[in-house]
Structure 1
Amino acid sequence: MSLLTMAGCTGTDGFAPIAEPTSATVASSSSPSAEAQPLLARYGLAGKSTVEVIDQLDRLDLQQRPADLKASVRAGELLISDGGQEFSLPIPADRFYLSASPYLQQTHDCFFHAPTGCKGELAGKQVQVRILNDADGTVLVDESRTTFANGFVGFWLPRNITGTLRITSDGKTAESKISTGADAPTCLTTLRLV
């Protein structure tokens, strides 16, 4: 049995996401391996792609979060563990998941987003989001969203770009440079609305 190192985002409930497992099952496609399916089935995630697993976990009401399921989104994989088994679920090679949490008064440090643990200040808040690719000015996102119950809003972006993310809510705005490379953070918690 391998051990997981705890690191990254810690929410107000004291949860910390998992870091690199010393051994994990890694599949070459963007679908979780057969070995991961029993673990996923216990949480109603069997048969889902890694993208669908991340989307579903990030959108859970806080009371629905499984206490024993740890999840950590990396640039190319989702690491999951139930305390006994851990698996690496591959993210499609051309996609990157960025989860952003705008705030007014309180935030936390985070690098790898933990959809079963991260908690932001502004849950259920209407926000206007615009994300530009800095290389060519392409608008990647320009839409109104409502932050999830965990106070975050997530975006599937192209891999290996740099860009600018702007969030506006109630006349206040936050802006940040972003990147979607192999060493980029998947959790953005520095978006103070002013």
Structure 2
Amino acid sequence: MARSPFRSKALIAAVATVGALALTACSSTPADSPASTSPTTNVLAAKGLDDLSGKELIERLDTLPVAERPDGLVASVRPDEVLISENDGPETSVALPDDEFYVSVAPYVNRTHDCYFHSLTTCLGELRDQPIRVTATDVADGAVLADLTSRTYDNGFVGLWLPRGIEADVVVEYEGRTGRATVGTGPDDPTCVTTIALA
């Protein structure tokens, strides 16, 4: 029986989507990885990361050069914790501050990818180690929450610690281009923003 051309196109599109997510290894939706945690895992100790707080863990792994990142380690940033596993083994969690929300931003010019929960070890953005300026202001009252001029990390992202329970207007400037997005910091909001197109 001949295969419908419409079915073939749908199948190709589905395979392409899965392939793109596998290449970037970012979590695209909240339902990707249910939070099943195991307190007995010694993954962090094996990697020399067990003495770090959740905030320190994020800052260490997100800023680490890509070539130096631990093989097989997956660290997924959720709104209130970091879920960590190695080689599909059991997960352990490290709590994040009650009053701060971490969001990792990967602005882009030509290409991007879907992402919901930022992976500290596998997500890759387009603009790696590039000079940018990022500002974030509270949508409710216009208060400046962040204003930094730096470089994107080796993974193409830059991280922001924002107050919980707000909406922020995030503006990125890069080589005369500008992009912006509204970012939420609630319990169901993404920790990975890959939708800021620079034009």
Q: Secondary structure at the match of 1:53?
A: helix
1:46 pairs with 2:55: no
The offset of 1:50, in angstroms, is: 0.6
Structure 2: gaps (5+ residues): 1-17
Number of matched residues?
A: 176
The offset of 1:16, in angstroms, is: 4.7
The offset of 1:11, in angstroms, is: 6.0
How far apart, in 2, do the equivalents of 1:173 and 1:140 lie? 18
How far apart, in 1, do the equivalents of 2:26 and 2:112 lie? 15
Structure 1: gaps (5+ residues): 1-6, 26-32
1:15 pairs with 2:25: yes
- The one-character-per-residue Cα deviations of 1:14-38 (angstroms, maximum 9, x if unpaired) are 53557223x314xxxxxxx7x45x3
The offset of 1:90, in angstroms, is: 1.0
How far apart, in 2, do the equivalents of 1:106 and 1:100 lie? 14
Moved more, 79-88 or 155-164: 79-88
Q: TM-score, normalised by structure 1?
A: 0.85
Q: Secondary structure at the match of 2:34?
A: strand
1:70 counterpart (58, 67, 74)? 74
**Higher Rg:** 2
2:104 counterpart (99, 105, 109)? 99
The amino acid of 1:46's aligned partner reads: D
Distance 1:193 1:102, change over 3 A: same
Contact 1:10 1:117 in 2 (8 A): no
1:109 counterpart (89, 99, 114)? 114
How far apart, in 2, do the equivalents of 1:105 and 1:171 lie? 15
Contact 1:11 1:117 in 2 (8 A): no
How far apart, in 1, do the equivalents of 2:45 and 2:150 lie? 29
Aligned equivalent of 2:153: 148
How far apart, in 2, do the equivalents of 1:11 and 1:110 lie? 11
Moved more, 41-50 or 108-117: 41-50
How far apart, in 1, do the equivalents of 2:92 and 2:70 lie? 16
Q: TM-score, normalised by structure 2?
A: 0.83
1:60 pairs with 2:64: yes
Q: Secondary structure at the match of 1:110?
A: coil
How far apart, in 2, do the equivalents of 1:94 and 1:19 lie? 24
Contact 2:128 2:152 in 1 (8 A): yes
Q: Which runs of structure 1 show a deviation greater than 6 angstroms over 4 or more consecutive aligned residues? A: none
Aligned equivalent of 1:4: none
The offset of 1:159, in angstroms, is: 0.5
The amino acid of 1:137's aligned partner reads: G
RMSD: 1.8
